[in-house]
Structure 1
């Protein structure tokens, strides 16, 4: 064989020993969960009940970013208090005006249904093991009989949770698989773990109108560049012009919450009395260590005709 002077160099095949993301399924029944861990130590846990993210650790696995109540039900008996519950197809108490969601419980059935684990996928680059995507599905056939009666539409949901070294992306895909149109709302009810609520501020909402549920659902406008928490807060900020909301601790950015095709954000902290009144909120002073910044489409309704698809979500960046 003639030796060519300019033959292409051999490709470096990935080492068989090179570690990739690990995905494990544990538990049984309603307590089943999927855990993904990157070679660098970052991890995410998703309970199949509600497809609820119950843990997200960054910084090599040393920093837990989500708050979960010590009394949270993780056995499928009720919605999880903490993590990232999926709110669908109605936000808050359903309207009482005969709307198709009127017979549903508060926050709908997404967070209280058992989802299917559809599998994992990693980066297309075989040498890149820095992210892993987990997909979960919920369909009409997976609902309880009561839920199907209360909301008799044919739909399909695919919820994708993508873990990267410094971020977590959570995206919902909603498809109308029936003959008639339907309306829905959607929210990712994210509980962020923080060190001290008195030192937390939230930027990115200046000038935005909000509905203040603490003040009889009256409408106001955010007049300060930084929102600080000094008591119970329950606000729906609608039609936010910029995509990123930043949570700061002691003036230092801690999380960037980047919305994708979602225009609304809810900010919630129960404060002292409400925290004590909730049986699954623990410890009583846990309100000091959490803040909910929840992206969604909750002002009005999203409408899907037959065969149409809606997709929206968030990317949370840990800024440690």
Structure 2
């Protein structure tokens, strides 16, 4: 069966290739695994909590309505880091397309984690669409403001953990010339390096990246991952390195930073301002190699 549902997860298997699949945890609507021809494309901590006790470390957690910690907005500042979407159990809405197999999940203020939503109190409707292609994975989000009077302000980000063979020799390309905010130095600058390389902890937000720029992860000259953004102007690049990994209880193995890099498409440099009754949509498309995105 292309789509199988359990009490806690939804599994999609491509009808033309049983070795290509994706599994989504209902808690957080977090993609836990994406396999292409049997090869895992995402990194998941061996200590990740998948029992709903805390957000998942690895895969593709969903960040809404705040990225990091907001100290400026009166309502958003009350929420913990990265908001409430990854801390809430989403409703599985079912399969919406057979080929490629496509499913949807929904979340609103009634389904959201009640303790966290009590801090924010805004109304919202989210629909996550997961599409499993034969050589790509598309995750798309639609945010609706159901209010008749209040503007909805939020960030959105796909916190994507990509699996790599070794951080040594791994580079991220196609961000040169982009304004970036270095979260460690707390400085904004233009990245003039032809590629991003990793020799220590790295945590930067690339701002207003041109829509036609496809970010690529390369190891030893071989393309590993291609990330296309749709209506997501920013890209976060993150690797925790030694000390940060050691300080996270749910990050295992502690050497796991060598096998992962986060490429996170989002709308985080500025807030989305959504008028009453309006909708906002965005997506990321992951593939192993560059492909013809016009067909997706």
Q: TM-score of the superposition, structure 1-length normalised?
A: 0.87
Residue of structure 1 in register with 2:289 after alignment? 319
Q: Report if aligned partners of 1:136, 1:159 keep a CA contact under 8 Å in 2.
A: yes
Name which of 34, 57, 76 aligns with 1:56: 34
- Per-residue displacement from partner, 1:81-110 (whole Å, max 9, x unpaired)? 000000000000122x35321111110001
- Whether 2:4 is the aligned partner of 1:24: answer yes
- Whether 2:92 is the aligned partner of 1:92: answer no
Residue of structure 2 in register with 1:12 after alignment? none
Residue of structure 2 in register with 1:228 after alignment? 197
How many Å apart are 1:148 and its aligned residue?
A: 2.7
* Cα distance in 2, alignment partners of residues 107 and 185 from structure 1: 9
| SS of residue in 2 equivalent to 1:107 | coil
Residue of structure 1 in register with 2:236 after alignment? 266
For 1:133-172, list aligned pairs within 5 A. 133-172=102-141
Which structure 1 segments of 5+ residues have no match?
1-20, 124-128
Residue of structure 1 in register with 2:293 after alignment? none
Q: Report if aligned partners of 1:243, 1:260 keep a CA contact under 8 Å in 2.
A: no
Residue of structure 1 in register with 2:93 after alignment? 118
Larger-gyration structure (1/2): 1
Which structure 2 segments of 5+ residues have no match?
291-296
For 1:207-286, list aligned pairs within 5 A. 207-215=177-185, 217-241=186-210, 242-286=212-256
Runs of 4+ in 1 over 4 A off after TM superposition: none
| SS of residue in 2 equivalent to 1:198 | coil
Name which of 14, 21, 24 aligns with 1:43: 21
* Cα distance in 1, alignment partners of residues 113 and 58 from structure 2: 23
- Whether 2:277 is the aligned partner of 1:307: answer yes
- Per-residue displacement from partner, 1:184-236 (whole Å, max 9, x unpaired)? 00000000000000111111101001111111x10121112211111100000
- Per-residue displacement from partner, 1:133-181 (whole Å, max 9, x unpaired)? 1100001111233223211121100000100010000011000001211
RMSD: 1.2
Q: Report if aligned partners of 1:54, 1:68 keep a CA contact under 8 Å in 2.
A: yes
* Cα distance in 1, alignment partners of residues 96 and 190 from structure 2: 42
Aligned residue pair count? 286
Q: Report if aligned partners of 1:89, 1:185 keep a CA contact under 8 Å in 2.
A: yes
How many Å apart are 1:319 and its aligned residue?
A: 2.5
* Cα distance in 2, alignment partners of residues 138 and 237 from structure 1: 28
* Cα distance in 2, alignment partners of residues 99 and 205 from structure 1: 33
* Cα distance in 1, alignment partners of residues 130 and 73 from structure 2: 34
Name which of 64, 71, 80 aligns with 1:105: 80
Q: Report if aligned partners of 2:42, 2:59 keep a CA contact under 8 Å in 1.
A: yes
